[in-house]
Amino acid sequence: MTNLAETKHLLKDLVGFPSISGKPNKDIIEYISKYLAKFNVKTSIDAHHDGKRFNLLATIGPEKDGGVVLSSHLDVVPANPNLWLSDPFILREKKHRLIGRGALDMKGFLACTLAMTEKYKAIEEKLNKPIHFALTFDEEVGSFGAAQFGKFFDRLGFLPKIAIIGEPTGMEPFIGHKAIIELTSEITGSTGHASNTRGKVNAICVASKMITKIEEIAKTCSQKPEKNSSFEPPYSTFNIGKVNGGEARNIIPNFCNFLWEIRPVPSDDGQSLLKLINNWVEGSLLPDLQSIDPKANVKTTLLADVPGMEARPQSSAMRLIQRLWTNSAPRVVSFGTDGGYFQKYGIETIIFGPGKMSQMHQPEEYISEFEIEDCLKFLIKLGNYMISDEKF
């Protein structure tokens, strides 16, 4: 018997916390800690240096190396209420669909794992390898919680063998993803009336030159696709996502900034790609600008550098999913996850969770009851497997 009712109850509460990335998350952490405390589960908290955002690790079974960690991120992307039929942070139920921001990505998996607490606790005596729940902050904006989880494990003194990152994959195994380098570039130009452009640097024009250079490098990458790559597209990509600058038609803009990113394939070094652009700015663009106005400047800041997840089809994490759930061939995914960090720490990692990928970050985001049921069935099998004599 799966505990669907308990899972739905938990999901309703969890969606009720508007835990948007970057915001303090103490309230949702306290709610979860309290829930786990009801079952006497050991929990540890790991604070971000701002003291406002937290990771949590809960352990059922022995506190030692090995075992499985079920990982969920606590943050959600923002929700524009105009695009929703009702308040995105009040879970709504319609035709077996549970609708709300984060219902799918990824409080759905989180609710399923928490709902298993009682069942896992009942077999704790028989567990010779632990089952952990790892909860992270700020996955959606650069996996900042996962970035400090390695030190958290060091402090706790144990490392799980396998991590299941429960992002929505329709309960299909995904074993790899590209890295993401997130950047912002700020251009300082000169102020002045549009009628007198002599000796002035137009910040928007500088941004456009830099964007053209980025596009050029992007084109070169697209002409050198990875051989036998499973990624789509099979080359490193660049995106300029947002540009800000200027005041009025007749004012020379003295400021422009743009947000951009690089998603390198595993065979490319993202930092080297970034260096190509930075070297061009230093060696060519800046001298040109500063010969016009010495105060002109270009500053590129790294916002996040999320490691890619290397595809390892033979990993024990993949074998576990094959044994317990599906023979589907593993695939790679285009979005980033906390998995890159977990793999970097030496944990065999897989992305595997309930719900449709196409629903992620959408208005009216939902997970269905059937998808939750499937996930609960898997988690029950996992519990049985953990007390069996079988090896990973």
Which residues lie near Zn ion (CB under 5 A)? Answer: 105-106, 167
Distance in Å, CB of 106 to Zn ion, minimum: 5
DSSP letter at 5 equals H
Contact, 170 vs 356, CB < 8 A? yes
Q: 268 or 371, CB closer to Zn ion?
A: 371
For residue 163 the two structure tokens come to 């991590």
Q: 106 or 256, CB closer to Zn ion?
A: 106
Q: Which residues pair with 59 in a beta bridge?
A: 42, 132
Q: 138 or 167, CB closer to Zn ion?
A: 167
Q: 139 or 268, CB closer to Zn ion?
A: 139
Q: 167 or 348, CB closer to Zn ion?
A: 167
Distance in Å, CB of 311 to Zn ion, minimum: 19
Distance in Å, CB of 7 to Zn ion, minimum: 18
Distance in Å, CB of 17 to Zn ion, minimum: 16
Q: 11 or 106, CB closer to Zn ion?
A: 106
- Rounded to 10 degrees, what is the CA torsion of 225, 339, 12, 377? 100
Distance in Å, CB of 59 to Zn ion, minimum: 23
Using Cβ positions, the residue closest to Zn ion within the complex turns out to be 105
Strands of 42-47's sheet, edge to edge? 42-47, 54-60, 131-136, 68-73, 162-165, 348-351, 174-177, 331-333
Q: Is the dihedral of CA 203, 208, 211, 217 positive or negative?
A: negative
C-alpha to C-alpha distance for 131 and 201, rounded to whole angstroms: 59
Distance in Å, CB of 167 to Zn ion, minimum: 5
Q: Which residues pair with 177 in a beta bridge?
A: 309, 333
